[in-house]
């Protein structure tokens, strides 16, 4: 299989985006979980700290992804970076085979050059479906 779609989410945005992408491409969206509690204000603060200091977490994933040629990875932006769960996951992957899709409130991922592509879905721009359509069109032609 050429692509697999995986995502991490804290509040559902990245799940929604991953499921839209997967539906358009006739794929499943697979959730990556971790051993942390990111809920509430303390979870938010911990999340910012873990993201900004590149701390690892224990990731939980129910499927082997080795048969995918390329990965579509949907992550929230935390403190300008990929969320720690996805950051940990990506440490064992070839980033040139990763299409990263980043959901955020208003800002862009800072370190962008390592990936095959980076797509930003920024809430304040109100253009989620148009960005997803552009992205999936490109993936289909890839
Ligand atoms: C710890 C933390 C840090 C965040 N940092 C940023 C940020 O730097 N820039 C931004 O635009 N949004 C930031 N956000 C907002 C999220 O990126 C945004 O709401 C995202 O879509 C959430 O995805 P989710 O619903 O899949 O968890 C942050 C959210 C959290 C929890």
**Residue closest by Cα to atom 16 of ligand 1:** 104
Best residue among 51, 77, 122 to mutate for probing ligand 1, ranked by most atoms within 8 Å of CB: 77
Among 3, 139, 14, CA closest to 85: 14
126: left (phi over 0), alpha (psi -120 to 50) or beta: left
How close is the Cα of 141 to the center of ligand 1, in Å? 30
Provide the Cα torsion 71, 37, 16, 25; round to 10°. 20
Query: What average pLDDT does this structure show over 85-89?
Result: 98
pLDDT, residue 59, reads: 97
Structural domain span for residue 130: 3-141
Of the candidates 101, 92, 94, 97, which has an alpha carbon nearest to the alpha carbon of residue 142? 97
Is 1 a residue whose pLDDT tops 80?
no
pLDDT in tens, 108-131: 999 999 999 999 999 999 999 999
What CATH number is attached to the domain comprising 70? 3.40.50.360
| pTM across the whole model | 0.98
pLDDT at 49: 98
Task: Report pLDDT for 38.
Answer: 98
Say what percent of the chain tops pLDDT 90: 96
Domain count, the chain: 1
Render pLDDT for 49-68 as a digit per residue (tens, 0 to 9).
Answer: 999 999 999 999 999 898 99
Centroid of ligand 1 to alpha carbon of 50 (angstroms): 13
Burial class (CB in 10 A: 0-12, 13-18, 19+), 47: buried
């Amino acid at each position: 299989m050429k692509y697999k779609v995986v995502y991490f989410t804290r509040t559902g945005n990245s799940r929604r985006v991953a499921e839209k992408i997967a539906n358009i491409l006739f794929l499943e969206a697979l959730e990556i979980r971790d051993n942390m509690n990111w809920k509430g204000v303390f979870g938010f603060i911990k999340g910012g700290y873990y993201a900004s200091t590149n701390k690892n977490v224990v990731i939980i994933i129910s499927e082997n992804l080795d048969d995918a040629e390329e990965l579509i990875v949907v992550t929230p932006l935390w403190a300008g970076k990929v969320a720690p769960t996805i950051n940990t996951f990506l440490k064992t992957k070839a980033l040139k085979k990763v299409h990263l899709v980043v959901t955020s409130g208003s800002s862009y991922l800072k370190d962008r050059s390592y990936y095959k592509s980076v797509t930003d879905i920024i809430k304040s721009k109100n253009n989620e479906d148009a960005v997803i359509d552009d992205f999936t069109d490109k993936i289909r032609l890839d």
